[in-house]
Every structure is written in structure tokens, then in C-alpha cells.
């Protein structure tokens, strides 16, 4: 939260926030062993701890009549099970619930860090974090596909879906290979990253407009722009909460869909 | 040969604008048809919403590639 980040420009010219708002120095500067501990990694750790604590409090000592956190936990569990696991994975859905539940809430808490005061940075706006999550799902997808359909069978099912005219496979096979094996992990990671990145930049932009025109350079003409920036900051924050929830949901939905495509060949 | 018109500033923003046209139309069609399907068959709302979101996520992929290319290609 240095002055460099709060000041919206040097001199008299308004400067929109750029990529530098995503650059964070190590929290304990100068200590070689802790160079990895920056704000984004701290948020990842906090999100992981929050998921563990939430699941522990909710399901660690379940009662027949739920009280307190267990109520919330059961609603959350039902949401993931009935909206993601069962429609996507069918009867295998319940077996995959631990993975899907923790993925959903891990991503959700990392996204929510973007609107929680003081933190105010979605950890998933750093491409490294969605990449790790998407690679885990991708590795699982390949492993399960080869395990359940065989090495040749899996790639045959991916590239040559049965029941089409022979000539069509010339076009279809490369497209299917590209979209399933190469683009899938890429879009899976980038979808989450791009939404969080753009959302954070938008909020930062309107907040900077409000700060610049209302606090730093208050003029009769500029005040109107500042008020618009202030109102838009609030509106965009509400919109971000919606987008953050939706993206966490879609990330889990796609993970379930990819796992299902490996468990059962498309017919 | 002198240029008749020139664009200054970040070309990446123009690239993203172009890349967003197709997915924009696609997402519109998906949600339009989805809402229509729900209006016709309200009892299938859950199934339709599921497929709507899945189709939305897949269509969005093209816009996302357009969004990332300027950062990669600097």
C-alpha cells in the first residue's frame, strides 16, 4: 500500500492505473528466505486456510440437527453437488465431491480477496495460480482418460468420434485434437485469469478516477467526474462479486465436465 | 508511399476489440436461445442453464485468446 500505488499520477496529469498495480514486492524485503512471500502468495495461503477452516468447522463434527457453520456448509455442499457434480458426472458425482467442493471454494475465496478490504487483490489475477489449478485438472483428465479408455482408445475417442462420414474426419480430427488436448488447459486457466485481471483493473480505474478528482485535484468541473467514478466503483464492486462467484462456478463446472469426458467416452 | 490514416497508441486494444466481435455475437445467441428455451420448457430450467453456461464458457474462449495475445506479443 505504498504511496506509489495510491497516487494516481505524477504532476498535473491523470494517469490510469496500469499493469504495475499487479506487481508486489516481497513483504519482508531483504530477507532472502522469504522472497517468495508476496501479497498474492499470502492471499493464496489465506484462502487455503479459509477453506480448511470452513470445511473443518462445517463437517468436522456433524450433528443430526445442524447448527451454526454446519448449516452454511450443507447449503454449500448441496450447491456444488446438485449444480455441478451430479449433472456433470452422473452417478460418479458423489465420489468426486471432495475434489470439486475444495476446488470451488479455494477458487471462490481467492477471487473474493479482490473485494475484501485490505486484501483487495484477487490472487487468481496472477496467471501462475490459475495455471497450476488448470494443470492439475488437465493432468487428472489425461490420467483418467488413459486409465479408463486405454492410451490408444482415449486419443481415438477424442479425435475420431464415431458415427460420422469418413471424409469429415480429415477436418475433424485435428480440430478435436487442438481443442481438447492443447486449448482446453489454456482456456481453462486463462478464462479465470482474464476475468479477475480485467475486473481488478476496472475497479482500480474507477477508484483512481474518484480519488484523483475528489481528493487530489478537486475542481468544480472535475467534481462531477469524481462522483461518477465513486458511484461506478461501488457498482463495479457489486458486479465483481457476481463475476467472481460465476467464474469460480464455471471453473468447477468445466473441471467436472473434463473429468467426465475422460471417465466416459462421448457417444 | 505516405500513410493516409494511422493509428497510434496500443494496438492490443484494437486487436481485442476485433477479437470480441465474434464471441459477443455468440454469447448473445447462446443466452437469447437459452432464455427462449427456459420460457418454453420451464421444467427443464436446470438442464438448460447448465448447458447455457457450458456453451458460454466455450464461446468466450476466443475473446480470451484475443485478450491475452497483446500481453504475450509485446
> Of A203, A236, A249, A235, which is closest to residue A108 (Cα–Cα)?
A249
**pLDDT at residue A65 is higher than 60:** yes
Residue B49 scores a pLDDT above 90: no
pLDDT for A266 equals 63
Supply the pLDDT for residue A85. Answer: 92
The rounded distance, in Å, linking the Cα atoms of A236 and A242 is 10
The pLDDT score that the predictor gives to residue A250 is 92
Alpha-carbon gap: A23 to the closest alpha carbon of chain B (Å): 15
pLDDT at A106 over 50: yes
Residue B57 reports pLDDT greater than 50: yes
Q: Is A237 part of the contact surface with chain B (CB cutoff 8 Å)?
A: no
> pTM of the entire structure?
0.86
Q: Which of residues 184-213 of A touch B (CB under 8 A)?
A: 187, 190-191, 194, 198
Determine whether the interchain pair B64/A187 forms a contact, defined as Cβ–Cβ distance below 8 Å.
yes
Is the CB of A182 inside 8 Å of chain B's CB atoms? no
- Mean pLDDT, residues A200-228 taken together: 89
- Residue percentage of chain A with pLDDT more than 70: 95
- Give the pLDDT band of residue A1 (cuts 50, 70, 90): very low
Best mutation target among B31, B57, B66 (most A Cβ atoms within 10 Å) is B57
Give the pLDDT score at A5.
47
Distance in Å, alpha carbon of B61 to nearest chain A alpha carbon: 6
Banded model confidence at residue A162, pLDDT cuts 50, 70, 90: confident
Average pLDDT of A231-240? 94
**Which chain A residue has the Cα nearest residue B67?**
A194
Return the SS3 of A23: coil
Average pLDDT, chain B: 84
Three-class secondary structure of residue A180 per DSSP? helix
More confident residue, B11 or B22: B22
Contact A252, A233 (CB under 8 A): no
Q: What is the pLDDT of residue A230?
A: 94
Q: Smallest Cβ distance to A250: which of B46, B53, B64?
A: B53
Q: What is the pLDDT of residue A11?
A: 63
CA distance linking residue A103 with residue A84, whole number of Å: 12
Burial level of A134, CB count in 10 A (0-12/13-18/19+)? buried
Q: How far apart are CA A136 and CA A221, in angstroms?
A: 53
> Are A183 and B50 within 8 A, CB to CB?
no
Backbone region of residue A22 per phi and psi (left: phi > 0; alpha: psi in -120 to 50; beta: other values): alpha
State the pLDDT confidence band at B74, using cuts at 50, 70 and 90.
Answer: low
Integer Cα distance of A236 and A119 in angstroms: 17
Q: In this structure, which long-range contacts are made by residues A81-84, counting pairs with CB atoms below 8 Å and at least 24 apart in sequence?
A: A83/A249, A83/A253, A83/B46, A83/B50, A84/A249, A84/A252, A84/A253, A84/A256
Amino acid at each position: 500500500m505504498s504511496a506509489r500505488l495510491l497516487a494516481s499520477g505524477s504532476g498535473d496529469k491523470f494517469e490510469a492505473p496500469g499493469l504495475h498495480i499487479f506487481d508486489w514486492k516481497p513483504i519482508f524485503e531483504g530477507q532472502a528466505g522469504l522472497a517468495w512471500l508476496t501479497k498474492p502468495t499470502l492471499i493464496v495461503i489465506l484462502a487455503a486456510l479459509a477453506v480448511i477452516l470452513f470445511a473443518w468447522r462445517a463437517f468436522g463434527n456433524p450433528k443430526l440437527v445442524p447448527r451454526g457453520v454446519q448449516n452454511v456448509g450443507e447449503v454449500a455442499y448441496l450447491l456444488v453437488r446438485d449444480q455441478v457434480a451430479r449433472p456433470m458426472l452422473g452417478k460418479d458425482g458423489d465420489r468426486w465431491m471432495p475434489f470439486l467442493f475444495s476446488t470451488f471454494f479455494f477458487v471462490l475465496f481467492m477471487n473474493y480477496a479482490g473485494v475484501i478490504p485490505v486484501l483487495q487483490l484477487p490472487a487468481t489475477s496472477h496467471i501462475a495460480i490459475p495455471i497450476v489449478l488448470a494443470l492439475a485438472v488437465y493432468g487428472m483428465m489425461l490420467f483418467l482418460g488413459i486409465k479408463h479408455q486405454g492410451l490408444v482408445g482415449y486419443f481415438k475417442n477424442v479425435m475420431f468420434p464415431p458415427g460420422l462420414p469418413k471424409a469429415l474426419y480429415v477436418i475433424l480430427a485435428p480440430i478435436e485434437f487442438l481443442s481438447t488436448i492443447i486449448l482446453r488447459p489454456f482456456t481453462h486457466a486463462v478464462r479465470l485469469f482474464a476475468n479477475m485481471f480485467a475486473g481488478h483493473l476496472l475497479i482500480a480505474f474507477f477508484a483512481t478516477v474518484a480519488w484523483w478528482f475528489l481528493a487530489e485535484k478537486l475542481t468544480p468541473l472535475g467534481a462531477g467526474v469524481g462522483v461518477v467514478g465513486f458511484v461506478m466503483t461501488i457498482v463495479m464492486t457489486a458486479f465483481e462479486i457476481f463475476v467472481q462467484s460465476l467464474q469460480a462456478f464455471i471453473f468447477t463446472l468445466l473441471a467436472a465436465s473434463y473429468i467426465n469426458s475422460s471417465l466416459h467416452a462421448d457417444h | 508511399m505516405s500513410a493516409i490514416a494511422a493509428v497510434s497508441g496500443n494496438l492490443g486494444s484494437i486487436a481485442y476489440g476485433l477479437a470480441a466481435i465474434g464471441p459477443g455475437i455468440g454469447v448473445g445467441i447462446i443466452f437469447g436461445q437459452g432464455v427462449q428455451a427456459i420460457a418454453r420448457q420451464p421444467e427443464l430450467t436446470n438442464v438448460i442453464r447448465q448447458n447455457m453456461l457450458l456453451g458460454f464458457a466455450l464461446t468466450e474462449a476466443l475473446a480470451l485468446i484475443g485478450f491475452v495475445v497483446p500481453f504475450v506479443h509485446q
